[in-house]
Every structure is written in structure tokens, then in C-alpha cells.
Amino acid sequence: MKVYLETYGCQMNEYDSELIRSILAPHGHEMTAAVEEAEVVLINTCAIRENAHRKIYGRLDMLRPLKKEKKRFVVGVLGCMAQNLKEELFDHPVVSLIVGPDSYRSLPKLIDEVIGTDRQEIEAYLSEYETYGDIAPTRVEGVNAWVAIMRGCDNFCTFCVVPYTRGRERSRSIENILSEVRSLAQKGYRQVTLLGQNVNSYRDEGKRFADLILKVADVPGIERVRFTSPHPKDFPKPLLEAIASHPRICKHIHLPLQAGSDRILDLMARTYTRKEYLRLVEEIRRTIPEIALTTDIIVGFPTETEEDFQETAGLFKDGQFDSAYIFKYSERKGTIASRKYPDDVPPEVKTDRIVRLIDLQRAISLQKNREKIGRTLTVLIDGEADGPGKGAATSKRPGHQMGKTEGNTTVVFPRTPFGPGTMVSVRIHDVSSSTLYGRPVER
């Protein structure tokens, strides 16, 4: 059958879609990029915020005409929204298959059961063991490969749906991960990004994340190792030392803060205080002076006052992040916050706060980028700067290539004779808040 697969959400979902391709391939299913051609449409969904849900419903609506037109046509909802809403999704007339993140091995069987019939099938059990460790993902060619090192999350931050959609935390074995990374290096991938909801709770028979990342960084052929995300509550010293000491571990840490007010952090059950977070930032900067720090923030969590918000803004000034992903709080069904704290910050207040915080961060990012003018940075080439879906509109420039610094900032420069996956030195001469512009130089 011809299968069209579309992916929403985070890198973990991208990775899962690669697993799904591998699960379907031995059953003779062929992937297609044209939805009109497909007999099976699979949508790998996200549930993290309400707009993620809305986007999927919009997409399902667009599939109605195809469903009417075709005799053999299955639409399956996979991923976090499938796990979160379960049978509720059958209320949408095009959906006949619902499969949660731990049930992908059953996909071929389930597709066979529903295709050409009026049947509906759902499989959405969460597993304590499933890591898909034996399945080699079918990746799209590129420079970077995502590698899930663990699945699930046990943190239960009160706002977050992930522990319910992804289930209990479980780690893959170091050996299993290393053999995947070795084969990636052989296939020509130059960068791996290790994925987990909280990589600092990675465990394999007494070995922890720092042990794993050092081994991954030693795999010949891999030039850069990244990871996302560590939880600030249990950031281990050995990991800092690993990042500081290993030339192939990128000097970049994504350290989700969520809020700068202790009262809100407590309601969120993040289990660290503003002071502890700032102390950690200081320690990181002391150990790795060139580190790039990025973060995630939620504005408008229940009961957040202007004073609370000002504490977040103040922490932005003190913390000097290189960049930040800022979200408006979105109540998620089933979470602790949805049961205990009414979503009482008005939408216009959330909008006002997010706009102010984005403006503040933009100014900080611009300032930090300006400090890079005149410096020569090592850049891993991603591809053409005007390629489809590459980076922000500001970085689309014909005749130019783009790549990433170690700190994960986009750099745009005139085309070199080198292809994606090559490291080049680029001297920076101009910047915006999100992009650096430069010229390749000989070292």
C-alpha cells in the first residue's frame, strides 16, 4: 500500500516517524510524498498545547474529500494526541485508526484490519519497556540524526501532558545506542542529537548520561554531539565536565526554566528555585565559559501575576540566554494543573506577556550575536540557504549556504565548494537576533 506519513511536534516524534517507516517497510508498504496518491494517511501528532490539537483537527478536515472519493482509504492518528484523546478521535468522520506511541509495532496488522472496511481500530497502551531499541530508523538523508536514548517521563510537571502521552521513563542500553551511532557514522551522518525528556535521569546498569555521551562522542566519524533536554533539578557535575572536556560535544545546553518566580515554579512542581537555577547557570558558565544557553518558558501559568512575570523577565536579564522558546500556558486535560489550578490568566494578558518577553529576548539575542562580529566560528554546513523549509525567512538567500555554530546559531555565508556535513570557518560580519552572516575563511 502507498502510505503518506506526516509528522508534528518535537524531535522525539520525528524520530518515531523514522521508526514507523522501518516498521512498515518489511510489509511491502511504500512511502509517498503525495497525499492524493495514498491509501493510508498516518498523522503523527503532538498534544503539548491546544494549538497542536487544533492544527491536527484542521488537517483531518482537509482529508474529508479524499475519504469520500476513495474506496480504500485509511486515516490513522498516531502519537501523543492519539494517546491523549483515544476513542474521542473517532468522533471525527475520517479517522479509522488510532495508535499510541508505544504501539507502533502493531501498525502493519492494524492497517490490514481496517483497509477497505468500515472498521475502526485503536491501540494505545503505554508500555514500561518498549524502547524500539532493535529497530533501525529509516532516516531522511541529512547531516544530523536524532537518536532517542530514552522514552517517557516521570517528572509530572503539573502543566505537562507528556507523562500521560509517553508513559513511564525507560532507557535504552548504552550498547544498543552505540551500535546505532556507529552505523550512522558509517552512513555519513556527521552529527547526532541524543533525545530524552530528561536526559539526566538516563540509566543503564549504573552508567549515567555523562558516561553515554562521552562514548557517543568517541565514535569515529561523528563530528558533533548534541542533546536535549536536561532538567535543571539534577544537573550532574560529570556532565558539565564531559561537555567542557570533549571537543566533539557541542558547547550548548538547552536548560528549560519555565518560570522565574519561585511561587510559580513550585506550582509547576519543577523542584528548583530561581536561585538554584541561577547558581547552576553560574556554575555552567564558570566551567564552560563559551557555552551557549537556551531555554523554554511558559507565560500565564494559573495565578501568574505581573510581579511573577517580572521575575521571569528579570531572570532573562540575569541569565542572558542565547535564545528562548516562549509559550503561552495551555491547559491540558488530565494534567495536575488542570485539576488543581483554574486557567485564570486572561488570554490578552498571556499575549501581552509573551510579546514583551519575546521582545526582551530578541534584544538580548541581538546583543549576544553582535559580540560575535569579527570572530571566526566553526560551522557545520547544513545545505543551501534558500532551500525549502530551511530556517527563518531572514536566512533565505540564493547563492548562499547555511550551517550551525557549535552554539546552534544559524550562519549564512556565500556558497563554498563544500557540501552538507563539512566543517568550515566563517568570519562573522553582520548579525540579526536569530542569524549570523559571514564569509568563509582559511584557518
Instruction: Map the footprint of ligand F3S across residues 120-179, applying CB under 6 A.
Output: 161-162, 165-166
- Cα separations in angstroms, 114 against 42, 64, 126, 160: 13, 17, 22, 33
Taking CB under 6 A as the rule, does residue 260 contact ligand SAH? no
Residue 417 CA neighbour count, 13 Å, CB half: 1
Tell which residue, 392, 407, 43, has the closest CA to residue 226.
407
Q: Is 80 annotated as a binding residue?
A: yes
Instruction: Supply 69's cell numbers.
Output: 472519493
**Contacts (Cβ under 8 Å, ≥6 apart) of 112:** none
Convert residues 215-234 into a mask of x (bound to ligand SAH by CB under 6 A) and - (unbound). Answer: --------------x-x---
- Position of cell 491509501? 39
Classify residue 390 as exposed, middle or buried by CB count within 10 Å of its CB (0-12, 13-18, 19+).
Answer: middle
DSSP bridge pairs for 325:
296
Q: Is 311:274 a contact under the CB 8 Å cutoff? A: yes
Instruction: Supply 156's cell numbers.
Output: 509530572
Residue 406 CA to residue 380 CA, distance in Å, equals 8
Residues of the shown chain interacting with ligand SF4 in the complex, contacts defined by CB under 6 A:
153, 155-157, 160, 162-163, 197-198, 231
In the complex, minimum distance from the CB of residue 74 to ligand SAH, in angstroms, rounded to a whole number: 30
163 binds, among ligand F3S, ligand SAH, ligand SF4, none (CB under 5 to 8 A by kind): ligand SF4
Taking CB under 6 A as the rule, does residue 195 contact ligand F3S? no
- Residue of the chain from 13, 191, 201, 312 that contacts ligand F3S (CB under 6 A): 13
298 binds, among ligand SAH, ligand SF4, ligand F3S, none (CB under 5 to 8 A by kind): ligand SAH
User: What is the tally of helices (H) and strands (E) in the chain?
Assistant: 14, 21
* Backbone φ and ψ of 175, nearest 5°: -60, -45
Taking CB under 6 A as the rule, does residue 198 contact ligand F3S? no
156 binds, among ligand SF4, ligand F3S, ligand SAH, none (CB under 5 to 8 A by kind): ligand SF4
Residue 344 CA to residue 81 CA, distance in Å, equals 24
Instruction: Map the footprint of ligand SAH across residues 297-356, applying CB under 6 A.
Output: 298, 327, 329-330, 332
In the complex, minimum distance from the CB of residue 244 to ligand F3S, in angstroms, rounded to a whole number: 29
Q: Which residues are annotated as a binding site?
A: 10, 46, 80, 153, 157, 160
The residues binding ligand SAH (CB under 6 A) are: 48-49, 159-160, 162, 197-198, 229, 231, 256, 258, 296, 298, 327, 329-330, 332
Q: Which residues are annotated as a binding site for [4Fe-4S] cluster?
A: 10, 46, 80, 153, 157, 160
The residues binding ligand F3S (CB under 6 A) are: 9-10, 12-13, 46-48, 79-80, 161-162, 165-166
